[in-house]
Each structure stands twice: as structure tokens, then as C-alpha cells.
Structure 1
Amino acid sequence: MSEPDPTAPTDQSARAIAAAEALGLEFAVTRHGPVGSLEEAAAARGIEPRQIVKTMVVRVAEGDHRFVLVPGDREISWPLLRALLGVNRISMPSADAAREVTGYVRGTITPLGSLTPLPVIADSRVTGTVSIGGGAYGVALTVDGDALVNALAATVADVTTPGGPPPGSR
């Protein structure tokens, strides 16, 4: 009998949840249907958009990737991230390359249970109650941001800028 495929969609959230447990994190699992925006995801999870933590995979060099944890209302500041890492160029890997490294499809990527352990960079605003992806569409883990950052041994730095239009500017 063969081993189950750890990248199979049915196993993805179980892998992320098991990793959170192994790290000793206290968390609540939220499961919701499809969402079309960050605001819809926040509403489905009962939190503010800024409390959602997006996990981005960046490619520093061939075979050298990092996770970057970004608050929902912000985006990566490429100049700040390059300065932090001391490099001149960073890129986003293709969806296939990100899946090969993490075992998760884009939109479900989380540092929890990644097939390849990667260094984590957390924006300094990942604090308080946050919701991070649970490895599958519509699955999230609500955790204490400081506990998450500590459990992942993340480098904490200011690596983001405000994202999207400012509130009330529509």
C-alpha cells in the first residue's frame, strides 16, 4: 500500500493543522466557502482585513526561497525586502514552483506544514489576533500573531507598504 500524497488537496489542511499543533500553537480552525476578496474572507472569518496574514513565497536565488508574512491590508515593499536580505533582485516564483517548494497551491500557501522548511520573514505588523491560511481553500487558523512569529522563528521587520486604496477613498 502506498503512502498518501502530502500535496493532495484532501491532506493539505490536515498537514497545516498538524504543523500548528506540533509547534505548540493555540489556534481555532475556521472553515468557510469560496470568497472573492480579502474583505469577504475577513467577514467569513469574523475579523478585520488587516488581521488576515497572507503568506507570500519569494525567490531570492535559484533554490533559495523565503516565506513573507504580510498583513491583509498591506503589500510587500520590494525595496525594503531587498534591503533586509541584502540582495538586488527578488522575484515571485511561478505557481508551479511555489507548489513544488511548499506542497500548497497558490491561494492556500502557509508556512505551516510546508514540504520544504523555509526561513520566514514577518512584517512587524503581524501582531495580536491574526488569521493565517490553513493549507486549503476556505480553511484558516486564527492564532496570536506574536506566538505564530515566535513559533516560526521569523525575522521581524518592516517589509510592507499600505496596499490598495486607503479606507474611504472610493
Structure 2
Amino acid sequence: MTPAVRALEAAGTDFHLTEYAHDPRAEAFGEEAAKALALPAETVFKTLLARLDDGRLVVAMVPVNARLDLKALARAAGARKATLAEPALAERTTGYVVGGISPLGQKKRLPAFLDESASALATLHVSGGRRGLEISLAPEDLVALTGARLVGLSRS
């Protein structure tokens, strides 16, 4: 089991795990998950790490069919600017590989921000901590476990 699954089990949170055959040639990991599991793209959230202009790292979760608005993320985090973290830094910080970064069970707990579109969903889907593994859970449970703030983070 992954640290994400262990964190959910330790918290007693209701969740569902789904595995799919990951294609090693895939580059859009979240979109691959949505397609493989026949899920609406707006319910599948990618987990991204960003570096703020003051050096802090933060976690942002947005639907796979949207782009992260880095200006909105910076504002929400109280910074002037945000840039996506380099993949190697994201992997070292979270303990997960790119394409399998879960917002749950990361090595270091970082400030987290969840796109406000999640509040309209009964269930959302995030990486289970490895490519080919998705966790389905209630948005309010994800917020409770990550301490995420709901903010407008996505743009089409």
C-alpha cells in the first residue's frame, strides 16, 4: 500500500481505490486516469507542487481538464508569484513520482489549495500515490485530511 492509502486508513476515511493499466508512454497522467476509468475529467484532480516567490512550496489540486492559474495560487498563498516546482523537487518533497503524486501521505505536509469546483462534487478522484492507482473520496474528506483551502485555482 502507498502512504496515501495508509493515511486514509489511519484516519478512518471512507474511500475507494481503483487500479488501471498505466501506459508508460502517457504524459498527461490525470487525463489518462480519467479516460482509463471512464470518469468525467472535471472530477479527476491533478496534484501539482508550486514554489512561491518567498521560497515556500505549496500543493495545488485542479481538475485534469483545466490549467492551474499560478497568479491565483500565489494570491491565495499570500505571495506575489508562483511557479511550478521542478519535477525532481516535487518527487523529493512528496516521496512520490511525477504522475503518481498524491495530495495525501506526502513526506512533508505543505500548505494545500483545492480548486473550488470540488465543492460541487459528491466524489472526486486523486492519485493514490503511484501511476495507475486512483483514490475516490468526498471533497470534504480531502480538505479535512490535507488542510486544503478551497479557492478558485483553475482556468480552461
TM-score, structure 2 normalization: 0.86
Q: How far apart are the structure 2 equivalents of 1:23 and 1:61?
A: 33
| 1:48 and 2:36 aligned | no
Q: How does 1:101-112 map to 2 (within 5 A)?
A: 101-112=93-104
Query: Corresponding residue for 1:116?
Result: 108
Distance in 2 of aligned mates of 1:16 and 1:161? 27
Q: Which amino acid aligns with 2:4?
A: A
Q: How many residues align?
A: 150
Contact 1:17 1:134 in 2 (8 A): yes
Q: Tell me, what secondary structure is at the counterpart of 2:117?
A: coil
Report the AA paired with residue 29 of structure 1.
L
- 1:119-145 CA-to-partner distances (Å, cap 9, x unmatched) read 110110113211100111101111112
Extract unaligned runs of 5+ from structure 2. none
The within-5 A match list for 1:135-154 is 135-154=129-148
1:129 aligns with 2:123: yes
Alpha-carbon RMSD across the aligned residues, in angstroms, is: 1.8
The amino acid across from 1:33 in the alignment is: A
Q: Which residues of structure 1 form unaligned runs of 5+?
A: 1-12, 163-170
| Structure 1 pair 23–63 and aligned structure 2 pair: CA distance change class (3 A) | farther
Distance 1:93 1:43, change over 3 A: closer
Kindly provide the amino acid, as one letter, of the partner of residue 43 in structure 2. Q
CA radius of gyration, larger in: 1
Q: Is the 8 A contact 1:32 1:138 kept in 2?
A: yes
Shift in Å, 1:116: 0.6
SS of corresponding position for 1:16: helix
User: Deviation digits for residues 73-94 of structure 1, max 9, x if unmatched?
Assistant: 2111122222222322211121
Name the SS of the counterpart of 2:5 in structure 1.
helix
Shift of 1:24: 2.7
Change (3 A) 1:95 1:156: same
Structure 1 partner of 2:91: 99
Aligned to 1:30: 18
Q: What TM-score comes out, normalization by structure 1 length? A: 0.80
Q: Does the aligned pair in 2 maintain the 1:102–1:115 contact within 8 Å?
A: yes
Partner residue of 2:3?
15
CA distance in 2, matches of 1:39, 1:18: 25
Q: Which amino acid aligns with 1:134?
A: G
Amino acid at match of 1:43: K
CA contact (8 A) 2:125 2:134 kept: yes
1:156 to 144, 150, 153: 150
Letter in 2 for 1:116: K
